[in-house]
Amino acid sequence: QIDSARLWGSIHETAQFGATAKGGVRRLTLSSEDKQVRDWFRKACEDAGLEVHVDALGSIFGLRKGRDMSKPPVGIGSHLDTQPTGGKYDGILGTLGALEVIRTLNDAGIETEAPICVVNWTNEEGSRFAPAMMASAAYVGDFTTDDILSRKDAEGTTVGQALDSIGYRGDKPVGFQKLGCFVELHIEQGPILEAEGKTIGVVDSGQGVLWYDGKISGFESHAGSTPMLLRRDALATLSEIVLAMESIAKKHGPNAVGTIGEAVIANPSRNVIPGEIAFTMDCRSADGAIMDALDRDLRAAIADIAARRKVEVQIDLVWRKAPTHFDPKLIAAVENAAKTLGYSSRRITSGAGHDACNLNTVMPAAMVFVPCKDGISHNELEDATQGDCAAGTNVLMHTVLAIAGV
Amino acid sequence: QIDSARLWGSIHETAQFGATAKGGVRRLTLSSEDKQVRDWFRKACEDAGLEVHVDALGSIFGLRKGRDMSKPPVGIGSHLDTQPTGGKYDGILGTLGALEVIRTLNDAGIETEAPICVVNWTNEEGSRFAPAMMASAAYVGDFTTDDILSRKDAEGTTVGQALDSIGYRGDKPVGFQKLGCFVELHIEQGPILEAEGKTIGVVDSGQGVLWYDGKISGFESHAGSTPMLLRRDALATLSEIVLAMESIAKKHGPNAVGTIGEAVIANPSRNVIPGEIAFTMDCRSADGAIMDALDRDLRAAIADIAARRKVEVQIDLVWRKAPTHFDPKLIAAVENAAKTLGYSSRRITSGAGHDACNLNTVMPAAMVFVPCKDGISHNELEDATQGDCAAGTNVLMHTVLAIAGV
Ligand SMILES: NC(=O)NCCC(=O)O
Ligand SMILES: NC(=O)NCCC(=O)O
């Protein structure tokens, strides 16, 4: 059994780095707050006896030796960055839970056959830089390191500049640390476990993701003197797109969602009809065929709206992540650990994307979910209980022990 | 006849203050660019022999003596501030046209019976600070000077601070300069004169304006893991409001318009369902009963949308300007001047608001319109011909001479 109080203490101690007035955390990737939590985490890993290295994209790897160093390490961990209005648990539970597993094994004097590697992946959230799960995507070869280093945030700062500014451009090449498999603990970020009174979600699959950048070019004109019928209003165009996306997602539901999270009017003024809007779109489904249908329906709807309103709408697919099907043996190992420990569990699909989904494309991977309050995440009010966090960490530890061998 | 080349030269010389790459002007009220054009204008007024004073809200008054100083001056002028992406003519033609009238009278050695007062009103556009036509509204007593001085822009800077920062908080109380009447020259900002091949618009009325500040409070949550049916999406709510306003304006059309020009998502992120949006609304009609109907229909539609989507929508009416009916005698004077000079003309309603509309509530006022290209305004592509600008200025001069007496 892990030390529930120690885990809870770590979560709340690090929640000060970027703490918001509403009880959440604002810790955008590679920000000064992210540097604070990284420094804390690196030191905690070193204090736990891990050999710590940082790769060229800032991901932190802490290695615990195993008896048989020819075996590839069992990877565990998640991420410490948050949304602009994020919570205390998303990613953090999985990273500090991994640290807690190491501390518990140390305290108990348990040596494993295979080594264990704790990982904090850079930019899982994808708010500041796209795509989400950026560093693990580069790790598995979906993008080159140079490509990722050149990605820019809204202010034009590149990933490379941001890494340098907080001193986390590491000296190890991406992929330097081989892993045999990866297990990630996370809050569910949805309402199912809580509603069904289950403690552990055995994650067997994850939704695929489509991310688009969009730009609407209408025509600025005077709000008072331009007749309704002569307008080429970028905001009215966006409004139709938002509602079209909503109904397309519902039509393909319940296994589909669609969101427009960002929309910025250029040079806004009360008495000017909006002429230009930049926006983003996020569509998801656990079913690849539905993802294709969402893309097709959305493009058709947008083309129709643009033609009718005589505006230009440009849509660029900037990221496509296929649905995830986790490794059956690792899924069984998670399920077995939950059963052994006496926790209620159910199989579940992840609505959110996770670094484990990227790793699963090149190695066996699996995930452990615990409930979160009212299914709320990506919100400062995100909440989870100490008991559930500890239960998830126990399942993580027992899964690791089963895979690594004692 | 005024000096067409000199007028055209003034317009293009001052267009350098805030010139944009697309050929427009960005000269927000009380900005450093506004200071540049004010300095230029003040000097030009002084060089033309006017006695120049600045009032507590930064409006500039340049007085040309008349033979009978017991008569109240004939006011002429407009504004030199622009929209964020504004043009070279909106307001500027009327202000520099007024200056050109003075220069022409000086050159011809013409003395008038009543004095003439050239005015540059502060913040006509209403982009940086609400309401539009702020200084002339205070002049006629719609707002107190202190109220206006405390209005804030998006950065939290007050009108008072902005005035001080460019040295244009004048020593004269608002209203110090009595005027007997006011005549404003302006581009039409609509397509009618050009379409009908008329040179002069004799403005007999102006639309009323309703300005609202709005705020939507939904609930931020995860774009991937929140089912469509559980969302309280602020952007989807806004989208319905935008389309409802559009159809309400159309329903009451053609004599009604409605625009949402500003909308800002709080803490936007690609994978977060928008939880909070601040926005503005602008509704207009030349008919007071239609204005009331727009307000009623809009509030009802918004209440219905908010209830259906389980979000809060707060709507504050921040400005209501009743429709304008200009002074019949002054209208006739403008019409007569156009006829005498041989310009084609028609009576017209102003779609935009103007300082003359405010002044008309306490003194006789009227306006002269000239065509602008494709009716485009509040856009960097705004355009007008030298010939039309000169024609309008000639009509302004002859109207002034008829009122002031030679
Ligand atoms: N777990 C999580 O919230 N990931 C962020 C990336 C996404 O799924 O949008
Ligand atoms: N003339 C003009 O564009 N005025 C700005 C105020 C408004 O009508 O919106």
Question: Tens-digit pLDDT profile for chain A (406 aa)?
Answer: 999 999 999 999 999 999 999 999 999 999 999 999 999 999 999 999 999 999 999 999 999 999 999 999 999 999 999 999 999 999 999 999 999 999 999 999 999 999 999 999 999 999 999 999 999 999 999 999 999 999 999 999 999 999 999 999 999 999 999 999 999 999 999 999 999 999 999 999 999 999 999 999 999 999 999 999 999 999 999 999 999 999 999 999 888 999 999 999 999 999 999 999 999 999 999 999 999 999 999 999 999 999 999 999 999 999 999 999 999 999 999 999 999 999 999 999 999 999 999 999 999 999 999 999 999 999 999 999 999 999 999 999 999 999 999 9
Q: Is the pLDDT of residue B180 over 90?
A: yes
Q: Is B87's C-beta closer than 6 angstroms to any atom of ligand 2?
A: no
Residues A2, A16: Cα–Cα separation, whole Å: 23
The label of the residue with tokens 């000060």 reads: A16
Scanning A34-63 for CB atoms below 8 A from B yields none
Residues of B in contact with A375 (CB under 8 A): 221, 225-226, 230
**How confident is the model over B303-340, as pLDDT tens digits?**
999 999 999 999 999 999 999 999 999 999 999 999 99
Per DSSP, helices labelled H in A197-327 are: 234-251, 288-309
**How confident is the model over B134-159, as pLDDT tens digits?**
999 999 999 999 999 999 999 999 99
**How confident is the model over B280-299, as pLDDT tens digits?**
999 999 999 999 999 999 99
Task: For residue A277, give the amino acid letter.
Answer: I
Scanning A197-236 for CB atoms below 8 A from B yields 207, 209, 211, 219-230, 233, 235-236
For residue A97, what pLDDT is reported? 98
Span from the CA of B50 to the centroid of ligand 2 (angstroms): 28
Instruction: Identify the residue whose C-alpha is closest to ligand 2 atom 7.
Output: B353
- Interface residue A276 vs chain B (CB under 8 A): no
Taking 3-state DSSP, the helix, strand and coil percentages for chain A, each rounded to the nearest 5, stand at 35, 25, 40
For residue B261, what pLDDT is reported? 98
Mutate to test the interface with B, among A378, A379, A382 (most CBs of B within 10 A): A378
- Interface residue A70 vs chain B (CB under 8 A): no
Span from the CA of A93 to the centroid of ligand 1 (angstroms): 14
Ligand 2 atom closest to the Cα of residue B133 is: 6
Percent of chain B, pLDDT > 70? 100
Tell me if B224 and A282 make a contact (CB, 8 A cut-off). Answer: yes
Q: Is A329 exposed, middle or buried (0-12, 13-18, 19+ CB in 10 A)?
A: exposed
Query: Residue B259 forms beta bridges with which residues?
Result: B282
Annotated ligand binding at B53? The verdict is no
How far is Cα of residue B26 from the mean position of the Cα atoms in its chain?
15
Q: Which residues, in sequence order, are CB contacts of B316 under 8 Å at separation 6+?
A: B212, B213, B214
Span from the CA of A219 to the centroid of ligand 1 (angstroms): 35
**How confident is the model over B23-56, as pLDDT tens digits?**
999 999 999 999 999 999 999 999 999 999 999 9
Q: Which has the closest alpha carbon to A79: A181, A187, A174?
A: A187
Residues of B in contact with A261 (CB under 8 A): 223, 235, 265, 268-274
φ/ψ of B23, rounded to 5, equals 90, 10
For residue A75, what pLDDT is reported? 98
Tell me if B274 and A258 make a contact (CB, 8 A cut-off). Answer: no
Mutate to test the interface with A, among B20, B211, B272, B279 (most CBs of A within 10 A): B272
Angle at A371 between CA A367 and CA A374, to 5 degrees: 135
Ligand 1 atom closest to the Cα of residue B225 is: 8
Residues B105, B1: Cα–Cα separation, whole Å: 10
* Cis, bond preceding B254 (omega within 30 deg of 0): yes
For residue A253, what pLDDT is reported? 83
Tell me if A268 and B84 make a contact (CB, 8 A cut-off). Answer: yes
pTM comes to 0.96
**Is the CB of residue B355 less than 8 Å from the CB of residue B118?**
no
Q: What average pLDDT does the structure give for chain B?
A: 98
Tell me if A243 and B242 make a contact (CB, 8 A cut-off). Answer: no
- Kindly identify the ligand whose nearest atom is closest to the C-alpha of A92: 1
For residue A387, what pLDDT is reported? 98
| Chain A residue nearest residue B348, CA to CA | A225
**How confident is the model over B202-242, as pLDDT tens digits?**
999 999 999 999 999 999 999 999 999 999 999 999 999 99
| Chain A residue nearest residue B234, CA to CA | A261
For residue B253, what pLDDT is reported? 83
For residue B334, what pLDDT is reported? 98
Q: What does the block give as tokens for A300?
A: 């058709």
